């Protein structure tokens, strides 16, 4: 795999030894300072009358955008706090992580969303890893029970959005990320039901979501009577046949994780194919922080998406432990993390406490364009932790 000349001997050594250690140390020191700031801004917003409590992004006027627990992004800030605790072992972060995780826990019975993996595995899942508290275990199991109520055996997938008349049974590529909750539930209970649903969803998505060049559509809509594909589109991308950057990153991460949990070689092969699409793409940037869509018509002036880069970097660190292309993947991840660290972190004390700049949420809807977004920070910290663990000769997984 050439990756169009991205890999060089210099890049292969980027994260060796002291450099990566210093990068992780400075990255987490900065994250701690910024997170203290964001906590102060949350308090200020609530005193000013905002009833919500979880940071997501910035509003158009630059003020802090807070969300309630049913928002799909609600699990990322608690997860970020657990990452800070994992790295520092500071009881301050343990206290805050528990507090914000408690806010999200009640969504364990929310059957109106497919995003319970994002909401509860990123929060409660990390809480259980850190503490082994049986309470968190029960929340994970209850969340998985709720999530599988959205599974339709005829279609072979978990339904994504409700209440969208333009679709009968939409399934988005993002939904691959929620399968980790189900795999975990089977490990915690011994009940294979969750595992079987996750595998069926992954197999159906593998069959129907990807184009011949291994890029993915964002949405595949199914006929619930026949189980067949009704139509495909790219809702949050530039056009139906374009490659939305974050969607490609979700697929890369999702199939890497699915390979970990199943050892199905088809999933590893798909992860390799997605990586090849991303990094051989004619629109790949020198710093590997992608444009929001690989086919955006205004490249090179199109907005970047740091969140897509952070998700991909975290996935690549794990994928490097499975794939024959491990050297390339490690080098790519190292370069992404270095560039995020050096050029996409906010100035200290700014950004209302968010860590990274320049993410893009939903450009066609003119929503969250070139702003900080909480999931970019979450996957950036996860990537830093995974990089550090690999440097120590450990599994990248927490």
Catalytic amino acids?
115, 174
Distance of CA 59 to the CA centre of its chain: 21
**Residue 219, strand partner residues:** 172, 233
Separation between Cα atoms, residue 178 and residue 6, nearest integer Å: 31
Distance of CA 195 to the CA centre of its chain: 20
Is the separation of the CB atoms in 225 and 235 below 8 Å?
A: no
266 burial type by CB count under 10 A (0-12 exposed, 13-18 middle, 19+ buried): middle
Name the phi and psi angles at 281, rounded to 5.
-65, 140
C-beta neighbour count of 47 within 10 angstroms: 8
Nearest to 254 by CA among 307, 325, 179: 179
Is the separation of the CB atoms in 182 and 198 below 8 Å?
A: yes
**Residue 254, strand partner residues:** none
> Where are the strands (E) in the chain, listed by range?
54-58, 64-67, 151-152, 157-158, 170-172, 219-222, 229-233, 359-362, 367-371
> Where are the strands (E) in 188-245, listed by range?
219-222, 229-233
Let me know how long the chain is: 398
Is the separation of the CB atoms in 217 and 174 below 8 Å?
A: no
């Amino acid at each position: 795999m050439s990756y169009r000349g991205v890999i060089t001997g210099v890049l292969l050594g980027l994260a060796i030894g002291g450099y990566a250690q210093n990068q992780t140390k400075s990255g987490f020191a900065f994250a701690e300072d910024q997170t203290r700031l964001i906590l102060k801004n949350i308090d200020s917003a609530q005193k000013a009358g905002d009833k919500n409590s979880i940071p997501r992004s910035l509003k158009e006027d630059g003020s802090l955008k807070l969300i309630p627990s049913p928002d799909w992004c609600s699990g990322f800030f608690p997860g970020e706090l657990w990452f800070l605790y994992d790295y520092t072992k500071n009881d301050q972060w343990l206290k805050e992580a528990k507090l914000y995780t408690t806010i999200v826990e009640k969504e364990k019975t929310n059957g109106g969303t497919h995003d319970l993996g994002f909401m509860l595995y990123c929060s409660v899942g990390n809480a259980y890893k850190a503490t082994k508290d049986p309470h968190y275990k029960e929340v994970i199991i209850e969340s998985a029970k709720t999530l599988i109520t959205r599974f339709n055996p005829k279609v072979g997938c978990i339904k994504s959005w409700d209440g969208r008349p333009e679709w009968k049974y939409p399934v988005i590529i993002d939904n691959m990320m929620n399968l980790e909750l189900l795999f975990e539930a089977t490990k915690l209970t011994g009940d294979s039901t969750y595992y079987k649903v996750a595998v069926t969803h992954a197999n159906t998505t593998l069959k129907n979501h990807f184009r011949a060049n291994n890029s993915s559509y964002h949405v595949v809509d199914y006929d619930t009577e026949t189980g067949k594909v009704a139509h495909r589109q790219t809702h949050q991308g530039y056009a139906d046949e374009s490659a939305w950057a974050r969607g490609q990153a979700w697929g890369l991460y999702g199939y890497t994780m699915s390979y970990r949990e199943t050892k199905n070689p088809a999933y590893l092969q798909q992860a390799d194919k997605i990586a090849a699409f991303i990094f051989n793409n004619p629109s790949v940037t020198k710093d590997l922080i992608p444009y929001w869509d690989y086919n955006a018509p205004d490249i090179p002036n199109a907005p970047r998406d740091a969140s897509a880069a952070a998700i991909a970097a975290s996935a690549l660190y794990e994928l490097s432990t499975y794939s024959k292309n491990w050297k390339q993947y490690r080098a790519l991840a190292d370069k992404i993390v270095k560039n995020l660290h050096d050029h996409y972190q906010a100035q200290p004390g700014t950004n209302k406490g968010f860590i990274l700049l320049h993410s893009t949420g939903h450009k066609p809807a003119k929503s969250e364009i070139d702003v900080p977004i909480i999931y970019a920070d979450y996957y950036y910290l996860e990537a830093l932790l995974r990089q550090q663990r690999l440097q120590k000769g450990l599994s990248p997984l927490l």
